[in-house]
Amino acid sequence: MKNVAVSRWLGMVLLCVSPGTLVLSAQSKKIRAQSLIDDIAQKHPEVAELELSAAPPGEKNCSTIAATKLNQVGEKCDEDEAAALKTNEPSVESEQDGFDVTAPLHDAKGKLIGTLGIDFKTEAGQTKSDILGRTTSLLHEVEPLIPSKEWLFESGAPNSTVRLP
């Protein structure tokens, strides 16, 4: 019984360990990127899932640093993220359960710092053009709040979040 309790505790404490990134734990502070993702998800019910990907400061390898599904944190960037970082253009894929967008993410000064993956829920009559408009609107809401890429990796109090306008 004691081993089960210890195992559960460790499972809660070590949610993600990845080289060059942070260890997120139930008792540690959230990084600002996760607070930002949590806030976007709360404010935008039309969004099914979110993930923010970036390379930690001083590193070249991009990975998911925050997501609505915490098991995605630490995953290496895939072709969609690489393309968005290279072209600085969003990509939109129509899927059975909605639209999947991978968009370049910039800081408040306009510097490319990563990508934002957005899965929009299906709505009747939606088009790729509508989704691009929603993506642009969401990015205009979020990007001015990000002073730098380094800021995304800073920790904050677990209950402190970035409040979207």
List, for residues 63-94, the tens digit of each pLDDT value.
999 999 999 999 999 999 999 999 999 999 98
Residue 149: HSE in the Cβ half-sphere, 13 Å Cα cutoff: 20
pLDDT at 156 over 60: yes
Higher confidence at residue 160 or residue 127? 127
User: Residue 162 pLDDT more than 90?
Assistant: no
Does residue 12 surpass a pLDDT of 70? no
Predicted pLDDT at 136? 96
Q: What pLDDT is attached to residue 103?
A: 97
CATH of 27-153 given 3.30.450.40, 3.40.1130.10, 3.40.50.10480, 3.40.718.10: 3.30.450.40
* Edge-to-edge strand list for the sheet holding 91-95: 63-67, 47-54, 112-121, 98-106, 91-95
Q: What is the pTM of this model?
A: 0.77
Q: What average pLDDT does the chain have? A: 81
- Is residue 165 very low, low, confident or very high in pLDDT (cuts 50, 70, 90)? low
Indicate the SS3 state at residue 88. Answer: coil
In 31-130, where do the E strands start and end? 47-54, 63-67, 91-95, 98-106, 112-121
Q: Is the pLDDT of residue 155 over 60?
A: yes
Query: Where do the domains of the chain lie?
Result: 27-153
